[in-house]
Structure 1
Amino acid sequence: MKSYTSAILLFVIIGLFSCTVIRQGEVGVRRRLGKIDPQYVEQGPKGYNIFTTTILKVPTRTMNIEVKPDLPSKEGLTIRSEISILYRIKPEAAPKIVQNIGLNYESEVILPVFRSSSADITAKFLAKDMHSGERAQIESAIRRQMSEILEPRGFIIDNVLLKTIRLPEGLARTIEEKLQAEQDAQRMEFVKEREKRDAERKIIEAEGKKEIARIQAEGEKNAAIIQAEARKRMTEIEAEGKANAMRIEADATRRANDTINKTLTPQVLKLRQIEAFRALSNSNNSKLVITDGKTPFLTLPDKF
């Protein structure tokens, strides 16, 4: 009987108190007798009375909602798309969200705000802009507009990603043809620019060769001038040398004549005449000597 009573008491205790675990990336919201506790429950094991209290788990990690909306364009077309919405909940706002919105906040709040914001933003852009570099601008604009509405209510929109854009078939073909035409035009422009650069390069090379030829011609001309001036200078130096040599020789001859003239006195001249007549007298040939009468008479040898 005693063991039966203990078992009943243990069952009552277990029934009155239960335990749950709040994992990483989520918080708990305590609801006691239908009333939401404004303080959120942090991570870890938490005990509660299952008859009066319920702990609701709300994820606070980044969540991904994938939708496939039809978006309007500026020209009135309908663009099929596939978009990811990355959002998270502020931990301190979890009790307020559960109380005011409930746990179906994605379908009740986030998706309606996204549909309205995306339609408002894409209606300002052309269809081709959604398929080009304007996509990042469209994503940022949708995220900002959603944040203005949802952030005060405890939701943080991390990003809005336009994963896929499907244009109408005719428009897609037109855009592809236009892009192809633009690529062809860019290719032709590139070829034209390349040919222009090649022509400029050839002109520069021709001008360079012309300048080199001009410099070489000037160098040869200057070299010829220098050689002519050198030859002229050598000729001048040779002429000056010969003139100096002739002048020196003339001076030497003049000085020698002056010296001889100074040494030839009348007595020396008479002596030279006598020596000359004497040399003639010693010759075996017949001689006829004509004098001016002043030459002294010399006795001829007997055989004469």
Structure 2
Amino acid sequence: MSEYPMSNSPEPFIKRNLATIITLVLITVLFLAFFWSSVVISIKSGEVGVLYRRFGQGTVTDMTYPEGITLIFPWNIMYIYDTRIQQHPHNMVALTKEGLKVELEISIRYYPELETVGILHQRVGPDYLNKIVIPEVESNIRVQVGQLTIDQMYSPDPALLQLMVNDTMDQLEKNYITIQGVVITRITLPQSIETVMENKIESKELADTYEYRIEVEKLEAKRKLIEAEGIKAFNETINKSLTTDILKWQGIQATVALSNSDNSKIVVIGNGSKEMPIILGGESDSSKHQAK
């Protein structure tokens, strides 16, 4: 019979399997570290996720994953789409009705439609801005600019620009994308054309100025004619009302007023029986003093 006592302590078992336990823990930690970004998906504010199942139906088009933390199998892929309004500045070139080249600076505001993000991902992909938005906007604006003359592009009508925008927005809505606005921020014409247009506008302004002056002179001539007609009518009315007695009465009043003045007078009597006396003004008192 053995004299060594039996021991029920788990320590020998732990010591014998300690290396195995440490190995399993390290493998688990390495596995989680390696696949963490593929398993734990963080979807931020204003974003949605579109899942691609490698062993299954492929792209999930009937649902999207909302904001927050989502766990998936490491062999699947989650694509993140920003559904907020985005703005993209873009430069492009178009030809007018005459075939002249103009440069346009535009600003596009857009966002993917939330209900159809899955279909957008399946049919177009994340690079839908360069594949769909920009080409469609350029194409529609080129068509609209091609119907306008260089004069219309130099001084564009806001209604025509709005027509371009509306047509572009209608076309892009068919591709699961909403265009909130297309703003034409600047139109640049070739330097030679711009110089010609500026000279043309200056000539038109000068012609309008001359036309305005002519109209003013015509109005002034018309005013003077009306004034002359009024004076003529006034004189005719006065002449009809003037009689010899009235003229004598006015002469008497003038003679009385002159005789009452402080200046010396020379009165000539005998200017005719029907005429008023002639009163000639003499030297004033101040003149007499100066003569002395």
Gaps of 5+ in 2: 1-17, 247-292
Match of 1:189 in 2: 211
> Shift of the alpha carbon at 1:209?
7.1
Match of 2:264 in 1: none
String of CA shifts for 1:225-260, please: whole Å, max 9, x gaps. Answer: xxxxxxxxxxxxxxxxxxxxxxxxxxxxxxxxxxxx
The letter of the residue matching 2:65 is V
Match of 2:110 in 1: 87
The letter of the residue matching 2:54 is L
> Shift of the alpha carbon at 1:195?
4.0
Q: Cα distance 1:202–1:59, how it changes in 2: closer, same or farther (>3 A)? A: farther
Looking at structure 1, the residues matched to 230 and 51 of structure 2 have their Cα atoms a distance apart, in angstroms, of 88
2:51 paired residue among 30, 52, 73? 30
Looking at structure 2, the residues matched to 214 and 46 of structure 1 have their Cα atoms a distance apart, in angstroms, of 104
Residues 122 and 138 in structure 1, CA contact (< 8 A), matched pair in contact too? no
Q: Cα distance 1:7–1:203, how it changes in 2: closer, same or farther (>3 A)? A: farther
Confirm or deny that 1:77 pairs with 2:111.
no
Counterparts in 2 of 1:56-67, with a 5 A limit? 56-67=79-90
Secondary structure at the aligned position of 1:41 is classed as coil
Confirm or deny that 1:96 pairs with 2:127.
no
Structure ranking higher in helix proportion: 1
> Shift of the alpha carbon at 1:145?
3.2
Single out whichever of 184-193 and 82-91 deviates more from structure 2: 184-193
Residues 30 and 56 in structure 1, CA contact (< 8 A), matched pair in contact too? yes
> Shift of the alpha carbon at 1:138?
4.1
Percentage identity across paired residues of the two chains: 22
- What TM-score do the two structures reach when normalised by structure 2? 0.61
> Shift of the alpha carbon at 1:202?
5.3
Confirm or deny that 1:176 pairs with 2:204.
no
Match of 1:162 in 2: 184
Looking at structure 1, the residues matched to 229 and 72 of structure 2 have their Cα atoms a distance apart, in angstroms, of 97
Task: Provide the alpha-carbon RMSD of the alignment.
Answer: 3.5
Q: Cα distance 1:214–1:12, how it changes in 2: closer, same or farther (>3 A)? A: farther
The letter of the residue matching 1:62 is I
Looking at structure 2, the residues matched to 203 and 158 of structure 1 have their Cα atoms a distance apart, in angstroms, of 62
- What TM-score do the two structures reach when normalised by structure 1? 0.59
Q: Cα distance 1:13–1:162, how it changes in 2: closer, same or farther (>3 A)? A: closer
Residues 48 and 54 in structure 1, CA contact (< 8 A), matched pair in contact too? no
Confirm or deny that 1:108 pairs with 2:131.
yes
Looking at structure 2, the residues matched to 192 and 218 of structure 1 have their Cα atoms a distance apart, in angstroms, of 39
Count of residues paired in the alignment: 219
Residues 29 and 37 in structure 1, CA contact (< 8 A), matched pair in contact too? yes
> Shift of the alpha carbon at 1:150?
1.9
Residues 22 and 28 in structure 1, CA contact (< 8 A), matched pair in contact too? no
Looking at structure 2, the residues matched to 53 and 199 of structure 1 have their Cα atoms a distance apart, in angstroms, of 91
Counterparts in 2 of 1:250-265, with a 5 A limit? none
String of CA shifts for 1:241-288, please: whole Å, max 9, x gaps. Answer: xxxxxxxxxxxxxxxxxxxxxxxxxxxxxxxxxxxxxxxxxxxxxxxx
Looking at structure 2, the residues matched to 48 and 212 of structure 1 have their Cα atoms a distance apart, in angstroms, of 104
